[in-house]
Every structure is written in structure tokens, then in C-alpha cells.
Structure 1
Amino acid sequence: MSLIVALPKNIRWTALFVAWLIALTSTLGALFLGEVMGLTPCVLCWYQRIAMFPLVVILGMGLLSTDFRSARYGIVLALAGWVVALFHCLLYWGVVPKSLVPCGQGASCTDGPLTLAGLLSIPLLSLMAFTLILISLFVVNKGARNE
């Protein structure tokens, strides 16, 4: 007898939709910063984009076909992006020494005033987005062991 109870399909679909919506918003935000505002992304930002952009397609396909297995693939990408975003935040806050920074050439997020409303830095926004996506995808996967 399993203690894990599968969540109803509508709750799992809603959680998948929330994850997709966050990924879409993050992708559009990153494109806006780069293409409209002209901010060149640093190396760590590029790594986070590499993890975030495919989530829109993968999770979107899962929504259209009501295939909750897409969450399993999304978790891998979101977890990779979360690790890079955490490292980026630690760098931004000065916890990680600059000698470990892969942003040796080009733009650096530690140099410019990259904050939203003076409170949230771009690396922190990325970390929050990946965290919310991971939570949503874990909800989708909850009790889905037989699919």
C-alpha cells in the first residue's frame, strides 16, 4: 500500500500551467532586457537562459497534450537553472569571490544597477522563477509514479 496519493488531473494541469506561465514570463522578460533595453547578458545569464527557454516549449507541449511526463524533463532543466541562479545570486551578493567568476569577459551583472523597483536584482528574480517552477513541477509529479 502506497502512502502517496495521486493528485487530481485538474490540479496537476494547473500546476503545469503555472510552471509554463512563469517560464514564458521569464523568457519574455529576458528577451525584453536584451533586445529592447540593450542589456548584454553575462555568461551566467546565458546559462540560465539555456535552462529557461526550452521550458516554455517542453511544458507547453505537455499542456497541449495533457502529458504530465513533460514535468520530469522540465525538472532537470529547472534544477540546472536553479543551481546556476543560486551561484549567480551568491556572486551578486559578494559571497562568492570574484576569482571564481566565469564572467571574465563581456557584461557582468555585478557591475550595473540591475534591480527591479530598487529591490529585486535580476539574478534574484531568476532564482525565484526557477524555485517557483520547481515547486510547481514537483506538484505535477506528486503521486505520478505509474505514468
Structure 2
Amino acid sequence: MTLAQNQPDNMGWWLLSLAWSIALVSTLSALFIGEILGQMPCVLCWYQRICMFPLALILGIAALRSDMSIVWYTLPLALIGTLIAAYHSLTYAGYILTPIVPCGQGTSCTGSNMTILGGISLPYLSLAAFTAVSLILCTLIRKSDA
């Protein structure tokens, strides 16, 4: 089966729905932190949102339509988001010294109130979400080539 045939099997639909769920939870979490908690995101967080928000919409529509060909359009967004989140995480951890200070204005990702589950920071959560979505989309591509 190829992606062009657009006829997913049941496992493909579940994987696409899982990728959408991760993107949706990430998007709703970012909106909750920004709009409900009133904490302003840093520049790097904004760039990650630019990649994640469309993923939630596009993957949701694709899951409803069982459209497996969407991976070719969403994978670049997920990979770009992964790169930005990796850079943000490395900067946050202090491995990359840069004049661009993550979370320099407003609320900082380094604050104790910006962690969950016993100290997992938002940059690491973002990296995990983008990586998971990217891996799922790559799995869908590999599955369609088999």
C-alpha cells in the first residue's frame, strides 16, 4: 500500500490518532499556561507553538478523514519543532551558551512553577512531544512503504 492510495489500515489510523492526541494535548496545555495561568511564553516557546498548533488542527482533520498522505505535510512541521525544542532544551540545560536567553522576558521556563510531574520542565516536555509526533509520522511512512 502506498500513501497515494489513501486507504489506511486500522493500525495506521490509530497511529495517526495518537499523533493528533499528542499535538492536541500539547496545544491545549500551551493555551492553558498562556491564557489561564497568564504566563507569557518566551521567543523559543513561541516558535515551538508556531509548529505545534497547526499540527493539532491538520492531524485532527487527517484522523477524521483517515488520510494517511498528510504525513508528508506534517512531518516537516514536526521535525522543525523538534529542532527548535532540542535547541531550547540544550540552552535551558546550559549546554549551549548563547546570547539568546530562553524565557528572558516575562515568565521564565526555569521557574519552579513551570515544571510538572516532580520537576520536568516545559522545554523537555515540548521536545518529548515533538519527538513522539515525528517518530509516529516516520512510522506511518515506513508502514506505508512495506
TM-score bracket relative to the smaller structure:
0.7 to 0.9
Q: How does 1:1-147 map to 2 (within 5 A)?
A: 9-101=9-101, 105-110=105-110, 112-113=111-112, 114-145=114-145
Deviation at residue 102 of structure 1 after TM alignment: 6.5
Q: 2: distance between equivalents of 1:131 and 1:80? A: 10
**Equivalent position SS for 2:68:** coil
**Equivalent position SS for 2:40:** coil
Deviation at residue 119 of structure 1 after TM alignment: 2.2
Could you say if the C-alpha distance between residues 36 and 103 of structure 1 is closer, same or farther in structure 2, counting changes exceeding 3 Å?
closer
Structure 1: gaps (5+ residues):
1-7
Normalised by the size of structure 1, how large is the TM-score? 0.85
Could you say if the C-alpha distance between residues 117 and 64 of structure 1 is closer, same or farther in structure 2, counting changes exceeding 3 Å?
closer
User: Percent identity of the aligned residues?
Assistant: 49
Deviation at residue 31 of structure 1 after TM alignment: 0.4
Structure 2: gaps (5+ residues):
1-7
Structure 1: 4+ residue segments shifted above 2 A = 100-110, 143-146
Q: Which digits, 9 at most, give the CA deviation of each residue in 1:67-118, with x for residues without a partner?
A: 10111111100000000000010111111114244655444424x2221133
Supply the AA of the counterpart residue of 1:128.
A
Normalised by the size of structure 2, how large is the TM-score? 0.86
The CA RMSD measured in Å over matched residues stands at 1.9
Tell me how many residue pairs correspond in the alignment: 138
Deviation at residue 145 of structure 1 after TM alignment: 4.7
Q: 1: distance between equivalents of 2:129 and 2:103? A: 22
> Which structure shows the bigger proportion of residues in helix conformation?
2
Deviation at residue 28 of structure 1 after TM alignment: 0.4
